Chain A
């Protein structure tokens, strides 16, 4: 199964990408270079043949490429972009997590920033316990270590 980018003025070549679950995608260079990884590949001329991405699944990659396309569109206004981003990142935790990982792996700065801010908004004001539960994180402090950290950050832990 493959999906290709919309037919904008073809400014250049297309890149072929293959997700970890073997979905292939064709995307315009101008769109793909939102990712620093692809940008370097294109500059170094090693972008022939499908590029395997063993760390990103097809669903997530499709989403990410959609975002890149929107952000590579020269006709879109800043307002429209902000609106788009707000809707784009309003997803459930599992999807958000996948987007975060993909943006980090593919080195897409703007998308990474967007995803990080969203997670930041989700954790603001929460107690350490709530955060552990939300993200399934284990408290790996020893009781002494935890006491030490508590002391160092006492002002933030007030009543």
Chain B
């Protein structure tokens, strides 16, 4: 009773599309019939975000050759190659490989950085990312370089409806440190809240440049950074659950600041804030 002999390929593809991207790739190994069904556009179209066509066509940075890819190849391409979207190309879009859900990143230019408007470059200076060889490669045209502030206040805001519904998201502050990096032995405070909800927004400590001693202690009172594959640093700001599209939660606001100790800080380079699905623990 080999079902692949009697079921049409479309039916097998329908079944496979109800599993997951990882399962679909595993299922390719079962038999030739499964491989054909598991690689079909029917399956991968279901794994892509429902509005992927719209997103790609509205992006100025995506080439038309994306339309020539099979849906499976497109899926994996979008996992590893973020495309720029939004006004001024200050956001990027890619796909989370395991779930097929959207990952969005806000460029530094899309954030609200107090004293970072550009009119006061002796506080925050905007650098074209192509002219900064010491920094990791940036997908955006500019990054923000902190020369000196005492009042550190960075906020990001994103409408929840452009993210994938029914998904737990983590927000991560993406940054680097350049020469004469100081003032961050004091932890910054990070917080996240959904604008339409009354609760939330509790601040957590985050150590952007933890000392050796701090790294040794098992129980820290705050978040620690990790180095990403793309060589930028990242530290978690917080997480939230993006409900179904029907209940519009408005926007989510993310905040990173140090406005209590008010010591002088310098050397931080802000790449942006990334939002990506967090696995259910």
A-to-B contact residues, CB < 8 Å:
94, 97, 100-101, 104, 112-113, 116-117, 119-121, 123-128, 131-132, 135-141, 145-146, 149-150, 152-153, 155-157
Contacts and interface: CB of A to CB of B under 8 A. Distances in A.
Contacts of A94: 1
Contact of A155 (B15, B20, B25, B30): B25
A155 B26 CA distance: 9
B25 A157 contact: yes
Nearest to A132: B30
Given A104-B7, A116-B11, A153 B31 contact: no
9 contacts: A101-B6, A116-B11, A116-B15, A123-B15, A135-B2, A137-B30, A140-B31, A149-B28, A156-B25
Contact of A157 (B3, B24, B26, B97): B26
Contact of A137 (B2, B11, B17, B23): B2
Nearest to B3: A135
Contacts, number: 93
Given A116-B11, A119-B15, A149-B35, A128 B25 contact: no
A156 B11 contact: no
Contacts of B2: 135-138
B34 interface: yes
Nearest to A119: B15
Nearest to A157: B26
Contacts of B15: 116, 119-120, 123
Contacts of B14: 112-113, 116
A117 B28 CA distance: 18
Given A131-B30, A137-B2, A137-B4, A117 B18 contact: yes
> B interface, how many residues as a size bin?
20 to 34
Interface of B: 1-4, 6-8, 11, 14-35, 97
A94 B18 CA distance: 20
Contacts of A112: 11, 14
Contacts of B26: 126-128, 153, 156-157
A75 to B, nearest CB: 26
A137 B35 contact: no
B268 to A, nearest CB: 34
A132 B35 CA distance: 13
A97, A112, A132, A135: most-surrounded residue (chain B CB, <10 A): A135
B22 A137 contact: no
B3, B23, B30, B33: most-surrounded residue (chain A CB, <10 A): B30
